Structure 1
């Protein structure tokens, strides 16, 4: 039911998030846009297999959203880093019946894109943010299939958390690229890139 859709790199500014992403993989990102519902903006990088990377931050020129921002961005500090993994589902309502802790449904739009996403009321995903954000695309061609390719392929995503076993049991996810390890909460991704194997953390 869960399919990996994209990964998010957060930063205190979009420039810092995008620079960290680009320096880690050795390829440039592309312009994204603004998310009015949450007062954020992003840049994107297409990956093989219908996946993509997103650099995201609070948009200093946007109006306050009137609710906590997604991905815990209101509480984000420190260096730019890989913070979230996002999974798509065919039916978000059915997914939330199984994983209600993922949040409440928010209808979103950016340009021609339309999607529904589960966002916790406080903006913080369970398991210290290591629980995947869930979304349902409402367009025939999602960004992972429409973005220009970067020559990069995700080889492995490591999801670390002190309660990794409980997270694995809760998700019951079968994707050979995704590994769960006990440890400090965090994400690490390995990519095949035009410059060889690169790591993003």
Structure 2
């Protein structure tokens, strides 16, 4: 009998998948992160505009095509220009910036084809807001728009059974305790996928 994958199983699977690309950036650079220190999610339509200027990516791709043609392999990237790109690129997001771990050629080919999105596995380090995304995905938080730059995030309080609390004062507090903690402000671009479409 097949068992349903839990969110932890999904995280383990994604962390394992991106592990081989973690050394694309030196440890003292913002593009570095141990995979187990980030929250990972698959985005089948990751916006290419988040990855920089199309002209620069096309210039990179054309240079790579020329280099491989000179090496005797002129058709090395033809499949990226002809067939749908299904293999996700790997991107780390930190403080509104995106660092490509894997998939530079697929990104360049996508820009050259005039595409606007690409499948991606996107990681956000826990110390850069990844723990909020995990809580939102697990239903342990909710988010509302605040302004153009920020959103209000509410973390769900741990479930407490007031009947199990012996002290009367603490029981009274638990019974009147709201479901969510007070809001904190988080960068809107971090939680865009969780905001209402019209927000």
Q: TM-score, normalised by structure 2?
A: 0.27
More strand by share: 1
Greater gyration radius: 2
Q: Which has the higher contact order (CA 8 A, sep 6+)?
A: 1
